Amino acid sequence: MQGPDIEDLELQGVIPRMVRTVFNRIETASENIEFTVKVSMIEIYMERIKDLMDQSKDNLKIHEEKGKGVYVADMAE
């Protein structure tokens, strides 16, 4: 996900590219707009969902609500 070389723009993975794109958009946006950036990261492996920001949260559950959509409860931000 991070790519073989995080410093090389051609070899970066999806995570560094996404972060760069988000912050470039924020920098070029109007000064009248306020942004809040939140991040959560999970790993799904062998049908277990693990919170990568809080290692104590293991085997989280996927939920679905009509107004909220599909989400993983109790993830760290």
Res 12: pLDDT: 80
- Could you read off the pLDDT of 16-74 as tens digits, one per residue? 899 999 999 999 999 999 999 999 989 999 999 999 999 899 889 999 999 999 999 99
- pTM: predicted TM-score of the whole model, two decimal places: 0.65
The secondary structure of residue 54, as a DSSP letter, is: -
| CB of 76 closer than 8 Å to CB of 57 | yes
CA-CA distances (angstroms) from residue 75 to 9, 28, 48? 30, 30, 14
DSSP 3-state assignment of 48? strand
- Indicate the helix (H) or strand (E) that contains 25: helix 14-28
